[in-house]
Amino acid sequence: MPGKLKVKIVAGRHLPVMDRASDLTDAFVEVKFGNTTFKTDVYLKSLNPQWNSEWFKFEVDDEDLQDEPLQITVLDHDTYSANDAIGKVYIDIDPLLYSEAATVISGWFPIYDTIHGIRGEINVIVKVDLFNDLNRFRQSSCGVKFFCTTSIPKCYRAVIIHGFVEELVVNEDPEYQWIDRIRTPRASNEARQRLISLMSGELQRKIGLKVLEMRGNAVVGYLQCFDLEGESGLVVRAIGTACTLDKLSSPAAFLPACNSPCKEMKESPLVHPPSHGCRSTQNSPIHTATGSRLTQNFSVSVPTLIYTGMGSGSAGKEGGPFKALLRQQTQSALEQREFPFFTLTAFPPGFLVHVGGVVSARSVKLLDRIHNPDEPETRDAWWAEIRQEIKSHAKALGCHAVVGYSESTSICEEVCILSASGTAAVLNPRFLQDGTVEGCLEQRLEENLPVGCGFCHIPYDELNMPFPAHLTYCYNCRKQKVPDVLFTTIDLPTDATVIGKGCLIQARLCRLKKKAQAEANATAISNLLPFMEYEVHTQLMNKLKLKGMNALFGLRIQITVGENMLMGLASATGVYLAALPTPGGIQIAGKTPNDSSYEQHISHMQKKINDTIAKNKELYEINPPETSEEVIGSPIPEPRQRSRLLRSQSESSDEVIELDLSHGKKDAFVLEIDDTDAMEDVHSLLTDVPPPSGFYSCNTEIMPGINNWTSEIQMFTSVRVIRLSSLNLTNQALNKNFNDLCENLLKSLYFKLRSMIPCCLCHVNFTVSLPEDELIQVTVTAVAITFDKNQALQTTKTHIEKSLQRASTDNEELLQFPLELCSDSLPSHPFPPAKEHLESASSNSGIPAAQRATSVDYSSFADRCSSWIELIKLKAQTIRRGSIKTTVTVEKASPMGEGNFRNRSAPPCANSTVGVVKMTPLSFIPGAKITKYLGIINMFFIRETTSLREEGGVSGFLHAFIAEVFAMVRAHVAALGGNAVVSYIMKQCVFMENPNKNQAQCLINVSGDAVVFVRESDLEVASTQQAAATCQPLCTGGEVTT
């Protein structure tokens, strides 16, 4: 019996009037944990009762402590009839189970009722006494910390990053009793809330066990999702990255560690076990997944494309012997794992070595009604299958790991699309395993990593490329090959050199689909998916070029299935990476060149496009590096010298490239307008309106190119539902409607937040759902952060000075290696392989995939896949290589670390009054330092109404509900002693209405990390240096000390 839970009910306030006669309430409270219930006395005739109860003590297993929520019910005492429930509070006591987190939960909690919403507040104190339990067969995993944040939390240091953990539990959905009208809506909603709370607890405990098994002590990037599968059940699943974290006690203690983390690791008593992955097992005591049929699988991997079955070359061409060694190390470290996946999107410096491109896999499944817990074909197997595919895609890209990994589902009736995506990458083994890498080798490796461009270098074998891509020498270091565009699902690495600012890029797409049942439906969807994926990709590519940028970060492609349509929405942040070549323009080509009016039209379009590109370049400050130097206005001899030096080393090869490219083949990405579809594409390209001046937007953590955040933040959720007129449902009309919906939504946001200008919308997260036949729902959550325009100039300057210093030291260090490497590796790669590849691709391209018959059978997967690839290859031919210019790179501020650092000197904002809780989807709070993580917030609410009109219609209902959800999150954080939620995410917002019956129901699931932050005062300016180091806990790798 290893835990004692103690609860005290102090008081209530603002209770509703329950007795009409006296306009008062006789309230009492039931406190329930597991199967034990305590009651307070009835406090007669008051809307502000003072119970001041004794301490209710529950003696429970720590397993229960993890699974069960504390349930507090406020009731109105009634002598003659049944007591009326006023509302409930569920408190997740998990945060009390880690030693470092909260020690007490104490505060005012909104009393929530699923029918009436918030009805007053109750003051509660909760404590837990934990006894140590050394039983190694224990089922609990108390003490494992969970973080939603997808990077190493700010006040911790990663000792080892173990890898992927996943789990899912399945149960019947109590809602089905509601549909059958067996019980009241309130009872059904409460049963559902309680069940999900219980399942989340169980899931978290099981994941914790796996982490302990791996000898980790924390899960970072924890993402838990619900699949409401309707009649076939309720799935709660979670993925995360197991880590061993060390708390940074103080900046001073941290600094030395920062310089030699590897030493620390060796001293660490933890020995990484020969991990045997973390296979999920279906041992849920609640229920197992129902068996169901697999229908269809297919998959795609993007940067400029695609999975082919070719073996990956691990020859490590670009890095010479050391790289090869590194590769082997990583490989061995990672191959022990079943799934070398990481849910992180930002990494300690030096962790990410190379990035291959986006890998994604989708699979269409039929949810079966037949309930057979013994059926081996479970949801677990479905996911395992998809993950296997992701893994093989990564391999094809020459990568051993997948970072920025995430999974999602879209369900409509009995069809379910499972999706997984991530970024194939090569990682530095230092963080994955300890003790295995020789110290001296490591040292050299570190020096070897080029600053700010290493991750762009291709990880795959140049001679044996997985897809036709255009490789050029890196514009930054001039030594290694880079692709012409780079797509990733991760955040921009802090050390990446970016030119100009970034911007939000979205591809939006709808496809009509015939209504069908079961397998026919699944087949129809499977057939549509590759085209959607392809078109989304093309749209992204076009828009990226239109912005004059060459890389996408934070790419998230969401495919939503509805009764009669499929929707695709891809969001990403476009940037111009200095290491990648300048993107070519977009060239429009017509099919009927004889028609003069047609040609005129085309040239008009072409002009429009060219103008837009030019405008965008100006807007996002994308200047060729030479000019950016002038803009800054200070002579920068060092980088120039450096680049000259580097060039001289690789002179011969460089010359070759430039010759090769100077054939006058002017760049260009050709768009053929041969049919109306393509015209549509061009039009839609040009309809995207840039944000008003003073506004920027991105869907990543930080905006590339902005580093001087001020402290004002505003997190918001906006929801829109439109009804399509059923008359003219064509693909074009649909696309236009959907496009308008998203654009108008963005415009509204810009208008609403205009008082914050200059500001940036960060972490813009769009979610699309199709609740009914003709309804499209778009939910956006983001945070607006103000920044200081004037400060920008100063910071850039000072940073350049700084980077100059660093550059000069780098020069000396770098000189030694490139010499060796260039001599043996570069000459061995003649440039033109890409071209060859193109030709071969075109020769064997067949009929467009659309015309191929597709069968439901899984065995046809490979077949389909290859035809799909051919289709893409065809298109790929229209992509020509961009021209190369000699560049001198000016290192710009790395937005993350430096941004935070700068904020320290920002004026402290109006002193936060008592009770203010900030919420942000980001992992940090500008102008503040996170001093403590209090635990994960993971809440699920249902709200229902039978008086929709009286509550202000659907808008009034949902507006109030979301405000209530925010309030409850804030109250829980405040009760934990926190003042902010970081990495906040609204994972689900399922809204259903029935206006005829005057009813509506909504389910919302939110999560985040409760933290304590301290605003930086002027006093701290003196210790800025120290503080800056803290907010970037692992500043090893990239920085070479002199």
For residue 80, state whether it binds other proteins (rule: CB under 8 A). no
Q: Which listed range, 54-62, 356-364, 737-745, 1025-1033, lies at the site for other proteins (CB under 8 A)?
A: 737-745
* Identified binder of other proteins from the candidate list 159, 741, 973, 1006, rule CB under 8 A: 741
Residues near 636 by Cβ (< 8 Å), separated by ≥ 6?
Answer: 629, 800, 804, 890
* Identified binder of other proteins from the candidate list 18, 65, 118, 930, rule CB under 8 A: 118
For residue 959, state whether it binds other proteins (rule: CB under 8 A). yes
For residue 14, state whether it binds other proteins (rule: CB under 8 A). yes
For residue 440, state whether it binds other proteins (rule: CB under 8 A). no
Residues near 718 by Cβ (< 8 Å), separated by ≥ 6?
Answer: 745, 748, 749, 779, 780, 781
For residue 724, state whether it binds other proteins (rule: CB under 8 A). yes
* Identified binder of other proteins from the candidate list 605, 919, 976, 1011, rule CB under 8 A: 919
Rounded to a whole number of angstroms, the distance between the first and last alpha carbons of the chain is 56
**Closest CB 951 distance from other proteins, rounded Å:** 10
For residue 263, state whether it binds other proteins (rule: CB under 8 A). no
Q: Which listed range, 794-802, 884-892, 900-908, 909-917, lies at the site for other proteins (CB under 8 A)?
A: 909-917
**Closest CB 912 distance from other proteins, rounded Å:** 9
Q: Which of residues 683-712 bind other proteins (CB under 8 A)?
A: 692
Q: Which of 762, 779, 746, 766 is nearest to 712 (CA)?
A: 762
Q: Which of 557, 547, 559, 504 is nearest to 700 (CA)?
A: 504
Q: Which of residues 823-882 bind other proteins (CB under 8 A)?
A: none
Q: Which of 384, 43, 33 is nearest to 194 (CA)?
A: 33
Distance CA 768, CA 225 (A): 16
Q: Which listed range, 151-159, 230-238, 341-349, 955-963, lies at the site for other proteins (CB under 8 A)?
A: 955-963
**Closest CB 754 distance from other proteins, rounded Å:** 6
Q: Provide the edge-to-edge strand list for the sheet that holds 498-512.
A: 486-487, 551-561, 565-577, 498-512
For residue 725, state whether it binds other proteins (rule: CB under 8 A). yes
* Identified binder of other proteins from the candidate list 864, 881, 970, 987, rule CB under 8 A: 970
Q: Residue 45 region, left (φ>0) first, then alpha (ψ -120 to 50), else beta?
A: left
Q: Which listed range, 362-370, 401-409, 533-541, 948-956, lies at the site for other proteins (CB under 8 A)?
A: 948-956
For residue 715, state whether it binds other proteins (rule: CB under 8 A). yes
How many residues form the binding site for other proteins (CB under 8 A)? 53
User: Please, which residue, 322 or 940, has the CB nearer to other proteins?
Assistant: 940
Q: Which listed range, 155-163, 215-223, 302-310, 745-753, lies at the site for other proteins (CB under 8 A)?
A: 745-753
Q: Which of 203, 245, 194 is nearest to 223 (CA)?
A: 203
* Identified binder of other proteins from the candidate list 657, 960, 985, 990, rule CB under 8 A: 960
**Closest CB 560 distance from other proteins, rounded Å:** 17
User: Please, which residue, 243 or 719, has the CB nearer to other proteins?
Assistant: 719
Q: Which helix (H) or strand (E) holds 546?
A: helix 518-546
DSSP sequence for 746-775: HHHHHHHTGGG-SEEEEEEEEEEEEEETTE
For residue 510, state whether it binds other proteins (rule: CB under 8 A). no
| Centroid of chain to Cα 720 | 22
Nearest 5°: the CA angle 990, 984, 110 is 75
| Centroid of chain to Cα 830 | 38
Q: Tokens in use for 1018?
A: 């002027």
Q: Tokens in use for 385?
A: 């299958």
**Closest CB 855 distance from other proteins, rounded Å:** 37
Q: What is the dihedral of CA 262, 263, 268, 274, to 10 degrees?
A: 40
Helix (H, G, I), strand (E, B) or coil at 8: strand
**Closest CB 118 distance from other proteins, rounded Å:** 6
Q: What are phi and psi of 835, to 5 degrees?
A: -65, -45
User: Please, which residue, 138 or 747, has the CB nearer to other proteins?
Assistant: 747
Q: Could you identify the residue written with the tokens 């991750």?
A: 455
For residue 991, state whether it binds other proteins (rule: CB under 8 A). yes
Residues near 830 by Cβ (< 8 Å), separated by ≥ 6?
Answer: none
Q: What are phi and psi of 544, to 5 degrees?
A: -65, -45
Based on its alpha-carbon atoms, the radius of gyration of the chain, rounded to whole angstroms, reads 29
Distance CA 16, CA 30 (A): 17
User: Please, which residue, 133 or 680, has the CB nearer to other proteins?
Assistant: 680
The answer to whether 470 and 657 have CB atoms below 8 angstroms apart is no
For residue 913, state whether it binds other proteins (rule: CB under 8 A). yes
User: Please, which residue, 874 or 967, has the CB nearer to other proteins?
Assistant: 967
**Closest CB 783 distance from other proteins, rounded Å:** 9
For residue 967, state whether it binds other proteins (rule: CB under 8 A). yes
For residue 749, state whether it binds other proteins (rule: CB under 8 A). yes
Helix (H, G, I), strand (E, B) or coil at 608: helix
Site string for other proteins, 83-112 (x = CB under 8 A): -------------------------x-x--
Strand partners, 587: 670
Distance CA 266, CA 258 (A): 14
**Closest CB 795 distance from other proteins, rounded Å:** 27
User: Please, which residue, 280 or 979, has the CB nearer to other proteins?
Assistant: 979
* Identified binder of other proteins from the candidate list 19, 100, 740, 1039, rule CB under 8 A: 740
Q: In terms of DSSP bridges, do strands 980-994 and 999-1015 run parallel, antiparallel, or are they unpaired?
A: antiparallel
What string of H, E and C letters represents the secondary structure of 434-469? CCCCCHHHHHHHHHHCCCCCHHHCCCCCHHHCCCCC
Q: Could you identify the residue written with the tokens 């909504």?
A: 1002
* Identified binder of other proteins from the candidate list 76, 113, 121, 190, rule CB under 8 A: 121
* Identified binder of other proteins from the candidate list 61, 231, 773, 964, rule CB under 8 A: 964
For residue 727, state whether it binds other proteins (rule: CB under 8 A). no
* Identified binder of other proteins from the candidate list 191, 257, 722, 884, rule CB under 8 A: 722
Strand partners, 714: 784
The answer to whether 636 and 889 have CB atoms below 8 angstroms apart is no
Q: Which helix (H) or strand (E) holds 314?
A: none
User: Please, which residue, 313 or 694, has the CB nearer to other proteins?
Assistant: 694
Q: Tokens in use for 5?
A: 């839970």
In single-letter form, the type of residue at position 766 comes to F
User: Please, which residue, 687 or 816, has the CB nearer to other proteins?
Assistant: 687
* Identified binder of other proteins from the candidate list 958, 975, 976, 1011, rule CB under 8 A: 958
**Closest CB 386 distance from other proteins, rounded Å:** 33
For residue 737, state whether it binds other proteins (rule: CB under 8 A). yes
**Closest CB 971 distance from other proteins, rounded Å:** 6
* Identified binder of other proteins from the candidate list 963, 992, 1014, 1021, rule CB under 8 A: 963
Distance CA 400, CA 392 (A): 9
Q: Which listed range, 54-62, 273-281, 543-551, 947-955, lies at the site for other proteins (CB under 8 A)?
A: 947-955
Q: Could you identify the residue written with the tokens 């059958």?
A: 180
For residue 563, state whether it binds other proteins (rule: CB under 8 A). no
* Identified binder of other proteins from the candidate list 443, 955, 994, 1017, rule CB under 8 A: 955
C-alpha dist (Å) from residue 231 to 228, 290, 370, 413, 676:
9, 11, 10, 9, 42
Q: Which of 599, 547, 467, 553 is nearest to 879 (CA)?
A: 467
For residue 966, state whether it binds other proteins (rule: CB under 8 A). yes
**Closest CB 970 distance from other proteins, rounded Å:** 7
Query: What are the helix (H) ranges across 336-438?
Result: 379-396
Chain contacts with other proteins (rule: CB under 8 A): 13-14, 108, 110, 118, 121, 692, 714-725, 737, 740-741, 744, 747-752, 754, 775, 777, 910, 913, 916-919, 952, 954-956, 958-960, 962-964, 966-967, 970-971, 991
